[in-house]
Amino acid sequence: MFLVLAFVVLVFLAARAIGWCVQKYQDSHGSGRITERLLSEGKLDQSVFAGALWTETEWLGHRRCRAKLAKEQRRILRDTKRYFRNEYLNGCTPTIYQYIIIFLVASVLGLVLETVYTFIMFGIVESRVGLVWGPFSPLYGVGAVLLTMCLWQVRTNPWWQVFLISAALGGTLEQCAGWSMEHFADLQSWTYLGLPDHITQWIAWRFLFMWGVIGLVWCKVIMPELIYRIGEPTTRKQAVVASLLTMFMVLDIVMTLACFWRAGQRHHGVPPQNPFEVYVDNHFDDGFMARRFENMSIGEDLVPADR
C-alpha cells in the first residue's frame, strides 16, 4: 500500500508541477483558455496588455502575435483569475454536464491507476476494464461522481472530516458493487478475504484508508479545479458532444450488463431466449469475456490474495 500511495503522490506532484509550469508560461503571454474566457465575458479588461511587448510567431504554418507581459501585468492577471475562480466556486453547484465529464475522466484515470497498482503489488498486467467498449472502469467514475456530490458542500471542512466521509463512501460503494455483482450476475471482480485486514469480502481497512486519502486529495485539490475548468457548455458543439458521449456510455453500460447476464446464463446451461440474446452469445461469447475482463470470474470464486 505504501508503494501505491507513494506512486499516487508522485504522479500528483508531477501533474501539479507540469500544470504550474504551463500556467506560468500562459500568464507570461496572457494566453490560455481561462484568460480567453475572462476576456470574452468582459471580466478581464484588455488594458492588461497595455505596454506589453508583442512578437510575431509561426506555429504549424499559422502566424500570430504573442504578448510578453511585464511582472506587474502578470500579477494583475493572476489576481483577476483567482478572484473570479473563487467567486465561481463559492456560488456554484455542479451540474449534470460537469458530472458527465467527471464520470468519463475518472473512469479512464481509475482504470490506469488500478492497472499500475496491480503491476506494483502483484507484478501482473491484465485487462481490468469494466465495460465491453472503451477504456473505462465505471466503478471509479461512479466513485468520483459520488465523492463530488457528497463532498462539494463540505470541501472547506477540516481535513479529517473529509477523510472519514470519503472512506465511508468508498467502502459503501465497494460493498454495494461487489455484493450486487455476485448476487445478480454471479460475478466476482475482487475479493479481500485473503487479506488480514479484511472487513467483508469487498471491504478492507487498507482500502478504506486509500479511499480516504483519494477523497481528501480529490476534495481539496482536484475537484474545485476540475469543476472550474469544466465550467458550463458555452457552445452548441460542447452540448452535442456531451450528449453523444452520454448516449454512448448508457449503451455501453446496458450492453455490458446484457453480456454479463448472458455469461452467467450460459454458465448455468440456459440457452438464448430471443434474437438479442443470440446476438450477444455470437458476438460476446465466453472467449471474448475472458479476454476482455481478465480480472473477473463468472460463476466461480476468486482466489483470495494474501497480501
**pLDDT for residue 99:** 94
pLDDT 10s digits, 202-234: 899 988 998 898 888 888 888 888 898 888 887
Q: Are 300 and 187 in contact (CB under 8 A)?
A: no
- Say whether pLDDT at 184 is over 90: no
Give residue 4's pLDDT.
52
End-to-end, the C-alpha distance of the chain in Å comes to 10
- Of the candidates 69, 4, 61, the residue with the CA atom closest to the CA atom of residue 30: 69
With pLDDT > 90 as the criterion, what percentage of the chain qualifies? Answer: 23
Q: Dump pLDDT digits (tens) for 158-175.
A: 999 999 999 999 899 889
Task: Note whether 148 and 99 are within 8 A (CB).
Answer: yes
Residue 147 CA to residue 141 CA, distance in Å, equals 10
Radius of gyration of the chain (CA): 24
Stated pTM of the model: 0.78
Over the chain, what HEC string results?
CHHHHHHHHHHHHHHHHHHHHHHHHHHHHCCCHHHHHHHHCCCCCHHHHCCCEEEEEEECCEEEEEEECCHHHHHHHHHHHHHHHHHHHHCCCCCHHHHHHHHHHHHHHHHHHHHHHHHHHHCCCCCCCCCCCCCCCHHHHHHHHHHHHHHHHHCCCCHHHHHHHHHHHHHHHHHHHHHHHHHHHCEECCCCCCCCCECCCCCEHHHHHHHHHHHHHHHHHHHHHHHHHHCCCCCHHHHHHHHHHHHHHHHHHHHHHHHHHHHHHHHCCCCCCCHHHHHHHHHCCHHHHHHHCCCCEECCCCCCCCC
Supply 30's cell numbers.
Answer: 496572457
Q: Is the pLDDT of residue 6 over 60?
A: no
> Cα dist. 100→30, 147, 227 in Å?
30, 14, 11
> Which segment of 84-98, 118-132, 270-284 scores lowest on mean pLDDT?
118-132
